[in-house]
Amino acid sequence: MRRPAVLTLLLVLVASTGRAQDSPDVYLGDHMPFAAFDRLPADRLLVAGGEITVAVAPGALEVPRAALLAWIQQSASAVAGYYGRFPAERTRLLVVPGSGRAVSRGRSWGYRAASVRIVIGAQATPADLARDWILVHELTHLAFPSVPSRHHWIEEGLASYVEPVARVQAGQLAPEAIWAELAAGLPKGLPQPGDRGLDHTPTWGRTYWGGALFALLADVEIHRRTQNRAGLQEALRAILATGNMETSSPLEPLLDIGDRATGVPVLAELYGRMKDQPAPVDLDALWRELGVAIDGRRARLDDEASLASTRRAITAPRPMPAR
């Protein structure tokens, strides 16, 4: 049957508007594309304390859907294990097919509802996904309230530091890997000439690695002062209990909540020292105390070192709280 021309034209218009709306650019913009996401076929994953809705933007992915979902489940479980529960009750996770084999980038938002976008190479295999760190990093962002932009370093620093710790605790990464990675990366977070402290030096190095340095120093010092009864993890669990990335807060009250949970004012003190002055750190001395020796790109761990028990306590799995 022939359609009247005007109806055909209307159908073409509707079809092309639909296509234009959901073109790849829609999925890669600066905001979570809620409307386009909600039109995609979705799977639901349950993880302790939360539900993740997973949808894949149009495009080819070689990895089978079941393997993709298993990897997301595993990444979300590592984050839930670290925080005692998944940091958001409902999360939208948008997977966008990209080029190559790697997970190339990710982003997370808390402004309307917890949501994460991850770009995965069209040729990525399950083994490529197992090597990825970006998804756990993005999911970790959901666990910390949104803070004013001068403190962006703590958002990126915590996500960068917690990601490998959570994966080691979940048995998804060897402990040597995290220490080798920190030893290679943390020098990029040290203050350079002209540095004005973490709140006033928004360079890439100070934001990501300077923030991770703050997290590691806090973790070691909380463990040291509490004889390994508590660490940064207990502080972050307490902060999450008051709000996740879907909420916003000034930074100081969050640090106080963390300090009250551990019983030692390490976060407030460290922040006071690092926020508006360079506060250099002797990393070599820290590695000696923790018993981390770098041999090329690998770390050798020394259990005789003075803070070896702290190093082990940092990556030891914590019990999930009773629900």
Chain residues in the site for Zn ion (CB under 5 A): 156, 159
To the nearest whole angstrom, how small is the minimum distance from the Cβ of residue 108 to Zn ion? 7
∠ CA 283-289-292, rounded to 5°: 75
To the nearest whole angstrom, how small is the minimum distance from the Cβ of residue 30 to Zn ion? 15
Q: In Å, how far from its chain's centre is CA 276? A: 25
The C-alpha atoms of residue 178 and residue 188 are separated, in whole angstroms, by 16
To the nearest whole angstrom, how small is the minimum distance from the Cβ of residue 138 to Zn ion? 7
To the nearest whole angstrom, how small is the minimum distance from the Cβ of residue 134 to Zn ion? 9
42 pairs with which residues across the strands? Answer: 55
Q: Which residue is nearest to Zn ion (CB)?
A: 159
Q: Tell me if 151 sits within 8 A of 128, measured CB to CB.
A: no
Q: Which of 154, 285, 290 is nearest to 232 (CA)?
A: 154
In this complex, which beta carbon is closest to Zn ion, that of residue 116 or of residue 180?
116
User: Can you point out the beta strands (E) in 48-192?
Assistant: 50-56, 90-98, 103-109, 114-121
User: Which residues neighbour 81 within 8 Å (Cβ) at sequence distance 6 or greater?
Assistant: 166, 169, 170, 317, 318, 320
Q: Which of 322, 307, 288, 315 is nearest to 82 (CA)?
A: 315
In this complex, which beta carbon is closest to Zn ion, that of residue 126 or of residue 204?
204
Q: Which of 146, 210, 216 is nearest to 178 (CA)?
A: 216
Q: Tell me if 235 sits within 8 A of 161, measured CB to CB.
A: no
In this complex, which beta carbon is closest to Zn ion, that of residue 71 or of residue 144?
144
In this complex, which beta carbon is closest to Zn ion, that of residue 118 or of residue 178?
118
In this complex, which beta carbon is closest to Zn ion, that of residue 137 or of residue 223?
137
In this complex, which beta carbon is closest to Zn ion, that of residue 80 or of residue 118?
118
To the nearest whole angstrom, how small is the minimum distance from the Cβ of residue 160 to Zn ion? 7
Q: Which of 136, 142, 151 is nearest to 111 (CA)?
A: 142
To the nearest whole angstrom, how small is the minimum distance from the Cβ of residue 248 to Zn ion? 17
In this complex, which beta carbon is closest to Zn ion, that of residue 34 or of residue 133?
133
